[in-house]
Structure 1
């Protein structure tokens, strides 16, 4: 070796050496060293080698070969298109690309991760293994849209990663060494008598191939039950933690929900999944400790539920015979049970992960659909039938857009492939900016500007004709004012417009049109009933107006009191509260007369709610005899008695801070707390109620 160590050679071998597209046969000495290949002096002398270190190249047989340090070869780099190419719609082709980095000849790479710009166009690049031969790299691309897509030169296709070709070939040619586990062999032995020879072989092959999907349970291992529920079914996975700390699957369970069960709320469905799974795996879980994992955090309260009734009580009784704990697991990590609870969707747009928010579509021979009486979500693909459209040709549609100052500028922009920069349009009108923000949805077909719109009901893609300003009034006359339009409301009119036309600000335009329609305004009734405005009741002296209310029921005290009669004056905010055992009309009338009126005098007006004790004949006769004006608030509208209702909350807050746990002596604190309230400064008055 160059460092002075002696290495014993293992032998020699003659092999072809590929250097920069030329094969040179050379005898190699095989030894146990870390360096992959050593080019000796005899090789360099026989092939007239000249090493140019500053320029990083090697002159080999009068041919220059670029040299690279292994540490400087990039492991991840971008691939760009070599020349411009147009891919027809719904087809695939082979294009040529070049790496953005300088790579040595023979570098093997894996092309992966199609660039986002290609995905937005609906173009996909196949994942492939390529070997760099110093020229172009062949790539297989597919156009998934109904429009031809142009790929420009030097556009990034994706990323590539260098790999060792020996590792790739080794992985491809390696035969998997699969052995049927012992517990599976026991199953096969039991089933052999019921299976034919070819059937038994198929079963063995399947069990061998998917041997990692199941494991043999052991009672010494901890059981884990993962459950989940969807709108159509429930699923569960029973697994265990083996001695190596690895989670192994024991069994799977799933079941569809009945029509009634699908009406359950989310929490009840998740609980049903646990009940069904525990009953299904009863022979595993009965008498052992296990953990239930769910992605529904609300089930953590399961064992703390008080006084369960009905179905919930029956479910909890079933679960009460098992010993388990519930843990919450994030939904992203709960895919095993989640997948079992869902049916696979066929052509389900919402279940697939889409990298492109909108797919480009093209309608052959696009025409503006006729204006007829249609349902909101109904479309019509028949030719133009109205006189206004029959008299117009595609050239007239095109010319009408060119005459519009806003749309004509948009058409000029669309002639170029690049979207204008913000500084170029920042000084323009709001309509220009609206079209600019929808650049990807605007398309030009035969010189006419359209906007792509997706019908959320039918999931169809429609082309909306961008209507010039000069034709908008005429269209509204046909779709709203005409006898086929029927003078329908804003929502139906905008639905008809949306199926056929588009222009910036069309929603507000249609709304103003419907509101200014004379025929509609004469006939339509207002959508709401006019109500009188609420006013503040003004009082000018004490006892001019008194509000009366009842607080309770609360905990019964040792004296038998269960309710509180609250009286407050609107002018002074002076308040009194009396504990009473009941709220009969006789009790309320006696307390008001003896404790309040006899002490403070007659009020001019008493305001109450519509409680039976206040509307009784006894209470009304009392007010009439004392010449007191009796008023009441609206039913189920406590805002009319806001003063006394707010006082009720204040009294509750004060009592709750002093009353002991048994809460049976709150009436003893009541006089002292009311004194504290009356002697404190009221926020509205700026003075104490006692002083007022």
Structure 2
């Protein structure tokens, strides 16, 4: 299928501006959750218990909530546990399917879900959903054959960026990933990727974010040309190339490129038309909208403050106003 100029432009502008957060279009909001909670056979009694007191005899259905009875509160008719909305049974499958629509895998889906919803057995439900998805299994990455030496973690945004090319529908895109914030930027190059086009895209990137200290790429001809080396030298950029035939060495951007392709290929054969405008953005949100390791902050919180609004929007639709 040939892309129109408008569709090609939409891919680039959507990724670069993060103009669309998929969670903004969730099919339910806090008022729907509140109404359903009153009708839910498991949550409705919990609402009563939280308003008054827990009884001496606890039903089996209420036992998971009793174990955390000191944590939940009621906000605008919704049960909220630690900033996460407790989802009624009637909406659980719907929300899981929405989060799973990007096919980001079990670990990332758990991280995204834990950031704004809670329900008993949430991890188990996600594991069953992803493990039973034929598209996730078909697109699953092969286990790493060898251990690569990790890069030293940068101390600030755009200190080190990783770059690579991605092809979609016979069009080449330069993908740039900031190693610190995990921000993704993509620039359309056309049907071929020349050295001059690569440099022009980097100039646009630099005009927006400044000059990175280090640029990591593979040994493609665009990056090893004298023209590109001169550009880096005159710009004061330290250029580092990864070994040929070893994409894991440039894992920061390689993972992003692969997940962009997986997201774009993950539509079931009988499913709706491929959402080419939003798929790359959803991959970004899967990275930037989830916590990292225990005790760390969201990757997007390391970006300029103007970009943080996207992360707050993730919770805004389901979290009632306090």
**Structure 1 length normalisation: TM-score?**
0.20
User: Which of structures 1 and 2 has the bigger CA Rg?
Assistant: 1
**Structure 2 length normalisation: TM-score?**
0.41
Structure with greater proportional strand content: 1
Higher relative contact order by CA 8 Å / sep ≥ 6: 1 or 2? Answer: 2
